[in-house]
A = this chain, B = another copy of it.
């Protein structure tokens, strides 16, 4: 069992975490993975991660959400509707670039089959590119993988690292993948939780920082080889932020924008080739699309600062958690993405 960042003695920010230090600390949020690792007929190191915004009613009631496009070399379906109305009425999936479409249509099928959706559905599916380790051009994912990820969605601890959509990902030239973290925030509006989940596949090693400390430069590439033999051209990060604070869409957009702070502090710059796309949603209100006028709770704008700290800090920690959890993986063409050397990092931390 590999340590998480906190097991190395480093805490990001001053706010406490939720129970599992995971996006699932926001009540009702579920996470499921389908991990596809096989060498035949093609080398696949890929998968799907599904985040369900609200257990129980996810097909029939919407939550409010908002997105931010920090660096747009990526894909997230479902954007026009979220941008127009701030309604998120589907499970969210994160996967590999080439098969966003398969995953998206599979979610539509699930909506038709399970949700009693009788017209149309505009699911949110985002991606980062795993084609360095995985033979992405063989299109290895199937609809069944999406069903598996959805069916396995649960609350409680979230498996991190090279799982689900994060299976084949690379981050700061180490093995990357899925990471998560959460924060508990108190304000005049009460006590709320912010949870973050990332699919981390971006960045240069030299830019990597742990709580501000420029660790990346201290890990020599002779010691731990870089996953890249050349400058990365497929880096990206998808960040999903959830909160039970009652936010309206414009506030979800605010929250999504502040993800940038956490990413920037770890070492993200929004490179040209990077699709750094963030989605935030609030479980604080359930909206029945065709029903009676809505009565909505809203946190006043001036109470939001704690949420902004929380989302930045939890993003930072989620990325490092993804690094900590992911083990060394060898994929197609003999390529190896080496794990973040957690024991060496522990030593370096001790010697600071």
Report how many copies the assembly holds: 4
Per-residue contact bits, chain A 10-29, to B (CB 8 Å; 1 contact, 0 not)? 00001000000000000000
A329 to B85 CA separation, bound complex (whole angstroms): 33
| A119 close to B234 (CB less than 8 A) | yes
| B305 close to A272 (CB less than 8 A) | yes
**A338, chain B: closest CB distance, angstroms:** 22
**Among B100, B189, B234, B250, which residue has its beta carbon within 8 angstroms of that of A249?**
B250
Tell me the dominant secondary structure on chain A's binding face. mixed
A85 and B101 in contact, given A258-B269, A264-B260, A272-B305 (Cβ under 8 angstroms) = no
| B270 close to A308 (CB less than 8 A) | yes
A287 to B300 CA separation, bound complex (whole angstroms): 8
| A80 close to B73 (CB less than 8 A) | yes
Complex interface: stretch among A1-9, A48-56, A105-113: A105-113
Contacts of A263 in B (CB 8 A): 261
Q: Which residue of B lies closest to A293 (CB)?
A: B189
| A297 close to B301 (CB less than 8 A) | no
**A210, chain B: closest CB distance, angstroms:** 9
| B112 close to A101 (CB less than 8 A) | no
Per-residue contact bits, chain A 243-264, to B (CB 8 Å; 1 contact, 0 not)? 0001011110010011011111
| A272 close to B296 (CB less than 8 A) | no
Per-residue contact bits, chain A 45-74, to B (CB 8 Å; 1 contact, 0 not)? 000000000000000000000000111111
| B80 close to A74 (CB less than 8 A) | yes
| B293 close to A295 (CB less than 8 A) | no
| A100 close to B104 (CB less than 8 A) | yes
Number of residues in A with C-beta < 8 Å to the partner? Answer: 98
> Which residues of chain A in 119-171 are interfacial with respect to chain B, using CB atoms and an 8 Å cutoff?
119-122, 125, 129, 131, 136-137, 139
A305 and B269 in contact, given A80-B277, A84-B71, A213-B212 (Cβ under 8 angstroms) = yes
Per-residue contact bits, chain A 290-321, to B (CB 8 Å; 1 contact, 0 not)? 11111111111111110011001000000000
| B265 close to A86 (CB less than 8 A) | no
Contacts of A98 in B (CB 8 A): 105, 108, 112, 120-121
Contacts of A76 in B (CB 8 A): 80
Q: Which residue of B lies closest to A245 (CB)?
A: B293
| A293 close to B302 (CB less than 8 A) | no
| B84 close to A80 (CB less than 8 A) | no
Contacts of A86 in B (CB 8 A): 248, 250
| A131 close to B120 (CB less than 8 A) | yes
| B83 close to A309 (CB less than 8 A) | no
Q: Say yes or no: is A99 at the interface (Cβ < 8 Å to chain B).
A: yes
**Among B79, B206, B277, B289, which residue has its beta carbon within 8 angstroms of that of A302?**
B289
A7 to B327 CA separation, bound complex (whole angstroms): 43
| A70 close to B299 (CB less than 8 A) | no
| B75 close to A75 (CB less than 8 A) | no
Contacts of A77 in B (CB 8 A): 75, 77, 100-101
